[in-house]
Amino acid sequence: MKKNLISYTIVAAIGGLLFGFDTAVVNGAIPFFSDYFDLSDAMKGWAVSSALIGCIAGALVIGWPGDRYGRRDTLKVLALMFLISAVGSGLASSLNEFVIYRMVGGLAVGGASVLSPMYISEIAPAHQRGRLAITFQLAIVIGILSAFFSDYLLINTGENNWRWMFISEAIPALAFLILLFTVSKSPRWLVKNGDIEKARAVIERIGTAIDVEKTLTEIRGSIAIEGKTKKHKLFGGPYLKLIGIGMIVGMFNQFTGINVIMYYATDIFRMAGFSTDSSIGQTVIIGLANLIFTLIAMRVIDHFGRKNMLLVGSLGMPVFLLLFAWTFFTGNVGGFSLVFLLVGFTAFFAFSQGAVIWVILSEMFPNVIRARAVAIASFSLWFFNGLTTFLFPVVVGSLGGTTGIGYVFLFYALMTFSSFFFFRRFLFETKGKSLEELEKESMG
């Protein structure tokens, strides 16, 4: 694997690290900014989920600037937005100001969730695309763990500790912005804009194919088809079913309950009787499990297959979710059992949906609609993410605290088990195939 290919992939994947950091940093900060702004359950849900409103908008609209100005240059704008959000959220003097800056960060997260894996999939050779594309998910996981750990380290920095938690994101955001000036534009985007010589040079530089001319011919062919069919409606004709499948995949990803854990684990542990410091410490253990099993998934994704990994997770996660719900129904929320169950669930999620979701969404759609279709599928994911994140404290509060947590995770267990049958019936395997080959299969 050529050095440039690896370095370009790593730089693009930093968008995933910021994705993970931005969405998870709120976990440890919740108890402190909730007290500072004196938030009710509903307002706490709004403060946490407000960033996800930005994610929804960012994922939905990013396809156009990504196509118009290129993946790389649009990512530069998103990096700047991450930086502004980090500093602004940390310096906010009112809840409204805090929410506005969190929404700016959400726009960047939503955009990066589409463009970073898309850029990686467009520079990667078919036989290495899964391993490289999953780098984005690995970066998300590292970002989550980094956020949990930085929250833990900053607990004792005084009454403004939550401000430093948010501001700490400025460091990776600035690094992302600077490093984006060191990578090339996507060869697909260059060909689409008529710059064949630059596209040829990029393909040769990153070593994505032995036969450069054949690769260019395939790219030109798919772009020619795209030009002829661009006016076709996404929600009609042959694309309707694929769009629907992509949106349901995004929905099931959020109905695992993973992001409720990533955003509210500190509150969940506190309700189970842990101190605030200990609760934030437990999230670091969950983050480590997330990282370890993502690394395992990276080793096997191009051999085991995306669909098979989803099926394994859909059978493993419900077991731990059911047991987790049971502990809250019975009040048996001992520290070891609670942490063990969340680690077990996280391990299955990281190996399956966590590792696969962004890879399969960037692969399953035909080239002619990929940017727009991935944006729509990502919109579905972020919509349900925002909905569940807002409702969690409201539902838990209205159903009686720990009992409410039990009902929420019982729902997630049932939905995750249901996803097994959907994935088995409607998804096709994408490993080891070029984007052009996948286009034929998806429309077959």
Q: Which CATH number characterizes residue 78's domain?
A: 1.20.1250.20
Q: Has residue 217 been placed in a domain? A: no
Cβ atoms of 5 and 240 within 8 Å: the answer is no
Amino acid at position 43, single letter = M
Counting the structural domains of the chain, the total is 1
What sign results for the dihedral spanned by CA atoms 345, 350, 354, 360? negative
> How far is residue 12's CA from residue 116's CA, in Å, rounded to a whole number?
5
Q: Has residue 26 been placed in a domain? A: yes
Q: State pLDDT tens for residues 358-388.
A: 778 877 787 667 767 877 887 888 889 889 9
pLDDT for 401 beyond 90: no
pLDDT for 286: 94
Instruction: For 272, list phi and psi in degrees, rounded to 5.
Output: -85, 0
Q: State pLDDT tens for residues 33-86.
A: 999 999 999 999 999 999 988 988 888 888 889 888 989 999 999 999 999 999
Residue 184 per-residue DSSP state: P
DSSP letters, 360-376, are HHHHSS-GGGHHHHHHH
Cβ atoms of 382 and 56 within 8 Å: the answer is yes
Q: Has residue 214 been placed in a domain? A: no
Q: Has residue 109 been placed in a domain? A: yes
The band of 4, judged by pLDDT with boundaries at 50, 70 and 90, is confident
Spacing of C-alpha 149 from chain mean position: 19
Q: How distant, in Å, are the alpha carbons of 61, 65, 397 from that of 202? A: 27, 21, 54
Q: How many other CB atoms are found less than 10 A from the CB of residue 228? A: 10
Q: Has residue 211 been placed in a domain? A: no
The whole-model pTM stands at: 0.83
The residue ranking higher by pLDDT, 207 or 103, is 103
What mean pLDDT, rounded, does the chain reach? Answer: 86
> How far is residue 236's CA from residue 255's CA, in Å, rounded to a whole number?
27
The residue ranking higher by pLDDT, 275 or 100, is 100
Q: Has residue 341 been placed in a domain? A: yes
Among 155, 185, 180, 157, smallest CA distance to 68 is for 185
The band of 126, judged by pLDDT with boundaries at 50, 70 and 90, is low
Q: How distant, in Å, are the alpha carbons of 6, 134, 246 from that of 306? A: 22, 11, 14
pLDDT for 375: 76
Q: State pLDDT tens for residues 194-246.
A: 888 888 888 888 765 567 777 787 778 767 766 655 555 666 666 788 889 99
Cβ atoms of 184 and 202 within 8 Å: the answer is yes
Q: Has residue 13 been placed in a domain? A: yes
Q: State pLDDT tens for residues 147-204.
A: 999 999 999 998 899 999 999 999 999 999 999 999 988 888 888 888 888 888 888 8
Q: Has residue 316 been placed in a domain? A: yes
Instruction: For 273, list phi and psi in degrees, rounded to 5.
Output: 110, 0
Q: State pLDDT tens for residues 266-314.
A: 998 888 888 889 889 989 999 999 999 989 988 888 788 888 999 999 9
Q: State pLDDT tens for residues 322-372.
A: 999 999 888 777 655 788 899 999 999 999 998 888 778 877 787 667 767
Amino acid at position 26, single letter = V
Domain that holds residue 261: 3-183+232-442
